[in-house]
Structure 1
Amino acid sequence: MNPASIRLAAAVLGLGLLASCASQVPAAPETRPAGTAPETRPADAAFPRSVQVPGDPAQKITIPARPQRIAALSPDAAEAAMELAGPDRLIAVPASSAGASLSSHAAQMAKVPTKLPPGNDPDPEQIISLAPDLILVTTRHGGERDAQAALAEAGIPMIAIGNGWRTLEEVKQNLTLLGSALGAESKAAELTAEIDRRARDVAARLGEPERRPAVAILSNQAGRPFINAADVLASDLVKRAGGDLVADKIGLRATAPVTAEQLIAAAPDAILLIDVTGKGRESFAGVLDDPAVAELPAVRDGRVTLLPARISYGTGGVRVADGLEEIARWLHPEEMR
């Protein structure tokens, strides 16, 4: 057995001993402020329960009790868990989740006890040592897929989200799935209903737009401007908001660093900047300030807008409806009055 396996096995054994000891400690009596009624969740509190997790193959995950120590390994899952369960039940989230550009709950995220290191390569030993009773991962991230295999050996209930939070439909599916896993079905139904209601309102107000501007979507998540492919949530929002995608026009298959030449050749009608890092429009200056790019009609005529990732990426939760409305107002101000 190699050293890493030995350490992982020791961590799993320690987790088992911790759980055994905990089961022998009498439960503390419930306390609450005088004059208040106990919290009731008749429809949401039935545990143990089995949760069907879509995937290839699909999995049935048994959750023995309402999770109280949730480790969310990706920003998108962390944001959804925060909206569904609140801060008191989260014990670990990515460090990036405490950034106001990425999260609508940055202040609450900052109070979560453990911040996982930047990037998408969580350390299984660290996660196990936290003694979580539920782990949330998003398997589009390679590092999380690798960690998933090691964490599975620990026997901790784990929800592995296989889609990429790339569309409103996927966001709603994930909120529903996590609502079931967390014992928060009513809250999940409330959030998905709000997304549906606001998306229908935008569609009704736009109708069939006479023009659909071609939109280039740029983001700054890796320290330099990237051009986004069609498989990100912002792309779905643009299409629902009455725009077309430059990514489709130029056959872009994967999000990648953008060059001035590429943007000039794409000739977008409008440019949407997604601020992941909180560094604002200045972080896109390397491309937008290129003299030839500055002469593009989209740039010259001011058809460039900046949105925070917290309302336009998969970390948005119910706030993606804000992003949809903002983009629709930007592209079609007359219809969205």
Structure 2
Amino acid sequence: MKVTSYTTILLCMIILLAACQSQAIQGKNEPQSASKNEQSDADKATDAQAIDDQWTPRTVTFGEQTITLEEKPDNIAALSLDTAQAVLALTEPGRVVVASQSIDNEALSHFVNEAEQIDGRVKGATRLDPEEVLAFNPDLILLTTTHGAESDALQFFQEANIPTLTFDSWHTIDRIQEQLTVIAEAIGEEDKGQALIEGMEQTKDNIEQAEGSPSIMAVSQVGSTTGPYVLGPSSIAYDIISHVGGVSASDELGYDSSSPINIEQMLAVDPDYIILVNWGNVSDEFKNLIESPGWKTLTAVKQNRVIEMDAKDISSPNPFVMDTVKSLSQQLKEQEG
């Protein structure tokens, strides 16, 4: 009986001891599990900090401009469409706090979807309000100065000690590459900038130019209610036409910039190809041209060589212009065949 009692007591003690150990282990595991989660969050924060720590303070020089950036700019104001598209081709939209309202126009912009993540908008260049821009607390301002209002705003930004880079034109592919490189350096995306430029150069090397230097007339609006204009040397369209082996009809008209065009001038030049450039605005300028008596007598019309293109592909400077050169070159080659 005593042995049985002792055995019973011993079994009970073993069971109790096992239960206590199980609770102890469980108690240890619960905080440990929470600790792992906390460590995971900490690791994420550390990784993010490590990325920021890779930023090297820099001085960026472009022409006569010099700016110093002690910290990585994450509140970028891209106040013209060309600078906005350059930035969005290089980095995520979350780093942009305000952009030109043209970024939302599907006919003008390659980044309509990305622009949905950008809260701020500014109006066109002639109506730029510098105080409105500063309300977004930018740490880097990028703009193209082609109007007096932009020049006035530039002085305002400089007095506010906001690092600001300005560009006066994006009218050639070489200029796009040059200014893309400057922006990439300013925002810390040199590798992406270099990759974009290398891609452009590879496309350029494989372009098959048109035979016989065909005359190409690019007709467009140059604003929401202007036109029609023939795009001349002041437009990226001029350089695109040159890269496909064509000759801009603006040369035949003696224009040194984009200028108004009418059906009589078109008939006088009678270009081999006509490109109608869509800005995404409802207007009658193309309607009036097409309905005019002389339209159907144009060589380009009779030979079905009228090409319709969105402005983002032919007259809005951006890092994808070589894609347009490639596409247009292929269209011309098909016509030759």
TM-score (norm 2): 0.81
- Residue 297 of structure 1 and its aligned partner are, at CA, apart by 1.2
Residue in structure 2 matching 1:292, options 250, 269, 294:
294
- Residue 198 of structure 1 and its aligned partner are, at CA, apart by 0.3
- What is residue 245 of structure 2 aligned with on the other side? 242
- Report the AA paired with residue 325 of structure 1: K
Match of 2:83, SS state, is: helix
Match runs of 1:81-96 below 5 Å = 81-96=87-102
- Residue 68 of structure 1 and its aligned partner are, at CA, apart by 0.5
More displaced stretch, 271-280 vs 136-145: 271-280
Residue in structure 1 matching 2:264, options 237, 261, 286:
261
Judged with a 3 Å threshold, the aligned counterparts in structure 2 of structure 1 residues 291 and 119 are, in CA distance, closer, same or farther, namely farther
1:102 and 2:108 correspond: yes
Judged with a 3 Å threshold, the aligned counterparts in structure 2 of structure 1 residues 37 and 125 are, in CA distance, closer, same or farther, namely closer
Give percent identity, aligned residues only.
Answer: 27
In 1, Cα distance between the equivalents of 2:106 and 2:40?
A: 34
Match of 1:315, SS state, is: coil
- What is residue 15 of structure 2 aligned with on the other side? none
- What is residue 175 of structure 1 aligned with on the other side? 180
Q: Bigger relative contact order, structure 1 or 2, given CA contacts below 8 A and separation 6+?
A: 1
In 1, Cα distance between the equivalents of 2:159 and 2:165?
A: 14
1:53 and 2:62 correspond: yes
Residues 215 and 243 in structure 1, CA contact (< 8 A), matched pair in contact too: yes
Match of 1:291, SS state, is: coil
Residue in structure 1 matching 2:230, options 206, 224, 227:
227
Match of 1:132, SS state, is: coil
- Residue 40 of structure 1 and its aligned partner are, at CA, apart by 9.4
Gaps of 5+ in 2: 1-37
Residue in structure 1 matching 2:136, options 122, 130, 133:
130
Judged with a 3 Å threshold, the aligned counterparts in structure 2 of structure 1 residues 50 and 31 are, in CA distance, closer, same or farther, namely farther
Judged with a 3 Å threshold, the aligned counterparts in structure 2 of structure 1 residues 261 and 40 are, in CA distance, closer, same or farther, namely farther
Residue in structure 2 matching 1:185, options 170, 181, 190:
190
Residues 260 and 290 in structure 1, CA contact (< 8 A), matched pair in contact too: yes
The Cα offsets for residues 107-146 of structure 1, whole Å up to 9 and x where unpaired, read as: 1113311111234431011111211000001123332222
Judged with a 3 Å threshold, the aligned counterparts in structure 2 of structure 1 residues 316 and 33 are, in CA distance, closer, same or farther, namely farther
Residues 311 and 321 in structure 1, CA contact (< 8 A), matched pair in contact too: no
Match of 1:112, SS state, is: coil
In 2, Cα distance between the equivalents of 1:131 and 1:36?
A: 24
Match of 1:332, SS state, is: helix
In 2, Cα distance between the equivalents of 1:230 and 1:329?
A: 23
Match of 2:334, SS state, is: coil
- What is residue 308 of structure 1 aligned with on the other side? 310
- Residue 184 of structure 1 and its aligned partner are, at CA, apart by 0.5
Gaps of 5+ in 1: 1-28
In 1, Cα distance between the equivalents of 2:197 and 2:68?
A: 24
Judged with a 3 Å threshold, the aligned counterparts in structure 2 of structure 1 residues 277 and 118 are, in CA distance, closer, same or farther, namely farther
- What is residue 5 of structure 1 aligned with on the other side? none
- Report the AA paired with residue 229 of structure 1: G
Highest CA radius of gyration, 1 or 2?
2
- What is residue 215 of structure 1 aligned with on the other side? 216
Judged with a 3 Å threshold, the aligned counterparts in structure 2 of structure 1 residues 269 and 154 are, in CA distance, closer, same or farther, namely same
The Cα offsets for residues 180-216 of structure 1, whole Å up to 9 and x where unpaired, read as: 00000001001111111101110xx33xx54111011
In 1, Cα distance between the equivalents of 2:67 and 2:160?
A: 14
Residues 44 and 186 in structure 1, CA contact (< 8 A), matched pair in contact too: no
- What is residue 328 of structure 2 aligned with on the other side? 327
In 1, Cα distance between the equivalents of 2:42 and 2:258?
A: 51
Residues 125 and 147 in structure 2, CA contact (< 8 A), matched pair in contact too: no
- Report the AA paired with residue 215 of structure 2: A
In 2, Cα distance between the equivalents of 1:130 and 1:36?
A: 26
Residues 217 and 248 in structure 2, CA contact (< 8 A), matched pair in contact too: yes
- What is residue 118 of structure 1 aligned with on the other side? 124
Residue in structure 1 matching 2:204, options 189, 199, 203:
199
- Residue 277 of structure 1 and its aligned partner are, at CA, apart by 2.5
- Report the AA paired with residue 250 of structure 2: A
TM-score (norm 1): 0.81
- Report the AA paired with residue 139 of structure 1: T
- Residue 311 of structure 1 and its aligned partner are, at CA, apart by 2.3
Residues 93 and 114 in structure 1, CA contact (< 8 A), matched pair in contact too: yes
Judged with a 3 Å threshold, the aligned counterparts in structure 2 of structure 1 residues 40 and 178 are, in CA distance, closer, same or farther, namely farther
Residues 80 and 125 in structure 2, CA contact (< 8 A), matched pair in contact too: no
Match of 1:177, SS state, is: helix
Q: Which structure shows the bigger proportion of residues in helix conformation?
A: 2
1:252 and 2:258 correspond: no
- Residue 46 of structure 1 and its aligned partner are, at CA, apart by 3.1
